[in-house]
Each structure stands twice: as C-alpha cells, then as structure tokens.
C-alpha cells in the first residue's frame, strides 16, 4: 500500500458478503487497565488497533523512564491515572498533536487525590512528569470526593473511576454541568463491575467503594465505531447492497451502537442475527436531526453519508470534535467542500449539512492524521473514484480496513 495516498474505485454491482471488524479498542483499553489493576484475568479478542497494542506495550514496560502514548487519547489519559495510583515515576509524552490536547482537568483531579504530577513543557498539556503518590488525610469511612466537569472528554472521568477501587476510601465523582459521552462512562462502569468493583451510578454522582478488583475473564465485542463505515457503504452502494458484520451484540456497552437508529433514517436496516448483524439498503429519509453528544465518533461518517444522499442533516453535540486527533469540524468543512457539500455552523452550536450538487470525480481527501477522516470518506468511492491521503492512519483503530475493502470488491491502487 502506498503510504502517501490510496486511490479507490468500486468494481460495480451491489455490495455484498461479510466484512470482518476489529474488536472494540474502547473496551480493550479499559479492560487492559482494569486487568493490570486486578493483577490477572484473561482477555479474549483484544483489538489489533495500534492504540491497544501500544497500551499493552506500555503497561508491560514497568521500568521505562519515558513512556510515549503517541497519538492515543485513551492511552494518555488512562495511563496518567494508572501510573499515578501505582506510584510510578516516569515521563509520559506523545506526538506533537497530543501535546496540544488539554489534560489539566484530569491532572488537577489526580493532584487532589494525591498524585505528584508536573507539566514537563506547557502548563495544562502533555508531556507529564509523574513523581509518585502521596494521598492526603481522609476521614475514616468517607469517600475521596471530586467535582469534575461533565462536558469535557469522558476519558478523564473513566480514568478516575477505574482507579477508584485502589484508593484507601474509594471515590465519589460529582459530574458538573452537561455530561457528554455518557455511554462510555457506562461502559467503564460495566467493565469495572465485571471485575468485581462496587460501583453506584446516582446520575450526576458516581461512587466507587474501596474493594480490590477480582481476576476475571472477558471477551471483547467487535467495534461499533468501525461498523459505522460499513453502514455508510450499504447506504451509498448500488441498489440491493447488503453486508454481514460478525461479532456485534444487540445489547452492547458501546455508545456507537447508536448508528443503528441513525442509519435507519439514512437508508440502512439492521437485522440482528446469530453472531452479529445483517445490513440491507432501504430508502433514506429526506431530513435528520441528531444529537451526537453521546456518540461523537459517528459524526464524520454520518455527515458524509447525508451530504452524498442530499439528506438535510442538523447536528448538535459536536463540542468535543475540536479536540480530537484533529479539529474534526474544520477538517469536515474543508473536505466536504471539495465534493460540493457544506457543514455550516448555525446558532446554539447547531451544524447543518447541505449539498447542492454533490459529486465524486477523483478528489483527493486529506486525513489530517485522523483515522476517522480516512474511513468516513472512503465509502464515497462507491459513487466515483477518489484518493485518500496518508491511508496508514487507519492503523489507529482498524488496521485491516483497506484489505477488507478489497475483499468486498473495491479496486485499490
């Protein structure tokens, strides 16, 4: 595969067959942290995504003085809390983009609990110098208590919750204001409880009692975020397109299962079968309004599909997109424009996708070091040839993406 660019064409006829998905990296990375804190337990079907392989390597490297989280948000945030509570002394760093992604909310909270953390370069941003753990006095029987904004990355909240059982008196987290990505917090809760944590969800108050994790086995579900790209392909494919995706559960802990309901409006029906889902093409609705607060990673995929179909889409809950691997709102605005579509910001943080004369005729899509930009735009090759720049970015979450497209009938060169 050309590391600089990849040209995609569709071979013709309806899309059909079975596509293999990666395991969920969100589940995988949480399970790895909890397994490390539990001390044992077997994890099946771990993700082969770079973020998960990176997490495994760094957790196994108990003596390193410098740990590089690269561009992986969960690795940076979860490891910050893990290294702090396990009293590690180390420098935790990342890519140039990671050094621009704020982490002060998490660091301030960990400092309150007793973490000794300094900023090695810029205040409020990685890299971080972790210098041990010195918890202050807490009254007997009283949970350590934090107040944390709910409208920032849920990864901060999950990082804190996962170390809760390791604290002498446990932890109470008060969520302040609007809470984003709530399903990811519920996923963290479910995995913690699977490994024996005593967790209470009281809405805006989350409580974790002091009780050591217990060793347990767990099988990771396939990734609903990755499934969203196949939903897009069925929606944009020739009449009669369908695909089967194994390894997905009808009762999932992943918030991105929301793609089922969203794509029902954008032309894809979902049937849960014995070991996954079968997707079939149906007529799309002319308009859709959706709040992406709980599923921000679906926003790019849905925006591209709506633009290509001419669906009038109104999007809310996109606040966190500006601090992802790239500014995803700006990236979407730039790349959609080259196809004749627009992502317009309106009042009250509403965004509207419109397209007057959408066309796919050989455009080059910049990916901005963002795996989801590459995979969100790739399905447009069903409507005409296009080129994806820096295609290797997909290794972050779906390393086999391009080979699965080839198996499905895409011509890749």
* Catalytic one of 256, 297, 370, 390: 297
CA angle 374, 14, 267 (to 5 degrees): 70
Read off the tokens for 104. 């002060």
The reply, when asked if residue 320 is annotated as ligand binding, is: no
Question: Quick check: is 201 catalytic?
Answer: no
The reply, when asked if residue 366 is annotated as ligand binding, is: no
DSSP characters over 245-293: EET--SS-S-GGGGHHHHHHHTTEEEEEETTEEEEEE-PPPSEEEEE-T
The reply, when asked if residue 153 is annotated as ligand binding, is: yes
Strands (E) located in 24-169: 43-44, 66-68, 89-93, 115-119, 128-133, 144-149
Closest CA to 83 of 105, 108, 58: 58
DSSP 365: E
Query: Which backbone phi and psi does 122 adopt, to 5 degrees?
Result: -105, 130
The reply, when asked if residue 26 is annotated as ligand binding, is: yes
Query: Which backbone phi and psi does 19 adopt, to 5 degrees?
Result: -115, 135
CB-CB contact of 86 with 213 (8 Å): no
The reply, when asked if residue 35 is annotated as ligand binding, is: no
Closest CA to 264 of 277, 251, 273: 277
> What is the widest separation between alpha-carbon atoms in the chain?
69
Read off the tokens for 150. 């709910």
The reply, when asked if residue 151 is annotated as ligand binding, is: no
The reply, when asked if residue 363 is annotated as ligand binding, is: no
Strands (E) located in 286-350: 287-291, 312-316, 341-345
The reply, when asked if residue 254 is annotated as ligand binding, is: no
Query: Which backbone phi and psi does 113 adopt, to 5 degrees?
Result: -80, -15
The reply, when asked if residue 372 is annotated as ligand binding, is: yes
Strands 364-365 and 386-389: parallel
Query: How far are the Cα atoms of 79, 92, 130, 297 from residue 119, in angstroms, in the given order?
Result: 15, 10, 9, 29
Please state, in angstroms and rounded to a whole number, the distance separating the CA atoms of residues 117 and 133: 9
Please state, in angstroms and rounded to a whole number, the distance separating the CA atoms of residues 20 and 14: 18
Binding residues for phosphoenolpyruvate: 25, 73, 101, 155, 328, 372, 396
Q: Which residues are catalytic?
A: 297
Binding residues for 3-phosphoshikimate: 25-26, 30, 153-155, 181, 297, 324
Binding residues: 25-26, 30, 73, 101, 153-155, 181, 297, 324, 328, 372, 396
């Amino acid at each position: 595969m050309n590391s600089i660019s990849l040209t995609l064409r569709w071979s013709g006829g309806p899309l059909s067959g079975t596509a293999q998905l990666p395991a969920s990296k969100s589940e995988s990375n949480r399970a790895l942290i909890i397994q490390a804190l539990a001390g044992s337990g077997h994890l099946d079907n771990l993700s082969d995504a770079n973020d998960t392989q990176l997490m495994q390597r760094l957790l196994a490297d108990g003596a390193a003085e410098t740990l590089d989280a690269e561009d992986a948000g969960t690795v940076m945030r979860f490891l910050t809390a893990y290294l702090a509570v396990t009293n590690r002394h180390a420098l935790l760093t990342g890519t140039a983009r990671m050094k621009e992604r704020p982490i002060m909310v998490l660091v301030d909270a960990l400092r309150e609990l007793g973490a000794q953390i300094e900023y090695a370069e810029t205040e409020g941003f990685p890299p971080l110098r972790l210098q041990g753990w010195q918890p202050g006095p807490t009254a007997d029987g009283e949970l350590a208590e934090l107040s944390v904004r709910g409208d920032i990355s849920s990864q901060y909240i999950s990082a804190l919750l996962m170390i809760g059982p390791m604290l002498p008196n446990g932890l109470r987290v008060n969520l302040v204001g609007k809470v984003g990505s709530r399903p990811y917090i519920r996923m963290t809760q479910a995995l913690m409880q699977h490994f024996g944590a005593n967790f209470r969800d009281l809405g805006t108050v989350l409580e974790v009692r002091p009780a050591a994790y217990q060793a347990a086995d767990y099988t990771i579900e396939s990734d609903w975020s990755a499934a969203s790209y196949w939903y897009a392909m069925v929606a944009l494919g020739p009449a009669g397109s369908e695909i089967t995706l194994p390894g997905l559960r009808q009762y999932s802990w992943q918030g991105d299962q929301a793609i089922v309901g969203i794509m029902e409006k954008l032309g894809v029906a979902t049937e849960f079968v014995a070991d996954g889902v079968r997707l079939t093409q149906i007529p799309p609705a002319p308009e859709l309004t959706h709040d992406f607060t709980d599923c921000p990673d679906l926003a790019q995929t849905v925006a591209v599909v709506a633009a290509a179909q001419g669906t009038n889409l109104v999007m809310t809950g996109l606040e966190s997109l500006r601090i992802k691997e790239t500014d995803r709102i700006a990236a979407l605005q730039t790349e959609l424009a080259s196809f004749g579509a627009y992502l317009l910001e309106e009042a009250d943080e509403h965004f509207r996708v419109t397209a007057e004369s959408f066309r796919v005729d050989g455009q080059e899509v910049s990916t901005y070091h963002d795996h989801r930009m590459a995979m969100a735009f790739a399905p447009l090759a069903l409507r005409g040839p296009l080129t994806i720049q820096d295609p290797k970015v997909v290794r972050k979450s779906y390393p086999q993406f391009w080979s699965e497209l080839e198996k499905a009938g895409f011509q890749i060169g």
